[in-house]
């Protein structure tokens, strides 16, 4: 696998970055709230993802269950372009099985969505233990190093709430293909140090194919 460049030369101390899948278990370290496997999408997966986004209708796929043959069949049945979906499906199922194995979970919650606008444009923390995030097409999620966050600004915006971002030039961006494990406030011991992140803005006519997987 070929690594993609990160937004800055040096990674924040609470982030684990690497080219190999062995970086993902570092999410279990107390000091780490994001672990990223930096990868360039294989050409067949990128083509398969692009094919699914040719549809003009809103589309999303949700699944809660064991990542087995039933998942493969349902993905193929629901895909906008099933004849071109095999490579993408293989990648999704592999990631779902990896999440189930890593977190010793029998079931996973999967959401695959074609987005035409930012889903969560405001910086926030997820109210769950951990989530895998990867973007197959379009810009990836944006996140903040801890030194660039004012946590007093998190939550619903109000006139007296301060700005969340202390250093706008410190915003980090995941690349298409990167696989990130993100700690939420539901992770024990991470109630006040969950990763602060947001959805990227999209240009008019631009699409994003986003996959999230939660151990259930």
* Residue 1 reports pLDDT greater than 80: no
The pLDDT tens digits of the residues spanning 162-210 come to 999 999 999 999 999 999 999 999 999 999 999 999 999 999 989 999 9
The total of other beta-carbon atoms located within 10 Å of residue 127's CB is 9
Q: Is the pTM of this model over 0.85?
A: yes
| Token reading at 176 | 């298409």
Q: What integer pLDDT is reported at residue 10 of this predicted model?
A: 56
Domain ranges of the chain: 15-215
Q: What integer pLDDT is reported at residue 118 of this predicted model?
A: 75
The pLDDT tens digits of the residues spanning 38-82 come to 999 999 999 999 999 999 888 999 999 999 999 999 999 999 999
The answer regarding whether domain 15-215 maps to CATH 3.20.20.70 reads no
35, 52, 138, 141: which is closest to 91 by C-alpha? 52
């Amino acid at each position: 696998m070929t690594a993609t460049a990160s937004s800055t030369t040096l990674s924040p101390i609470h982030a684990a970055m690497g080219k190999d899948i062995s970086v993902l278990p570092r999410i279990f370290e107390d000091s780490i709230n994001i672990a990223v496997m930096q990868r360039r999408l294989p050409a067949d997966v990128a083509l398969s993802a692009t094919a699914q986004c040719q549809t003009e209708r809103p589309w999303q796929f949700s699944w809660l269950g064991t990542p087995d043959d039933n998942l493969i069949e349902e993905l193929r049945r629901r895909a906008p372009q099933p004849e071109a979906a095999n490579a993408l499906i293989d990648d999704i199922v592999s990631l779902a099985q990896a999440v189930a194995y890593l977190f010793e979970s029998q079931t996973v919650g999967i959401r695959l969505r074609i987005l035409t606008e930012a889903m969560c444009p405001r910086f926030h923390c997820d109210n769950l233990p951990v989530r895998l995030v990867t973007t197959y097409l379009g810009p990836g999620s944006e996140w903040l190093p801890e030194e660039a966050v004012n946590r007093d600004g998190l939550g619903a915006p109000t006139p007296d709430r301060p700005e969340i971002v202390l250093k706008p030039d410190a915003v980090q961006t995941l690349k298409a293909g990167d696989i990130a494990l993100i700690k939420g406030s539901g992770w024990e011991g991470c109630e006040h140090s969950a990763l602060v992140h947001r959805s990227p803005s999209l240009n008019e006519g631009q699409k994003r194919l986003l996959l999230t997987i939660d151990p259930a």
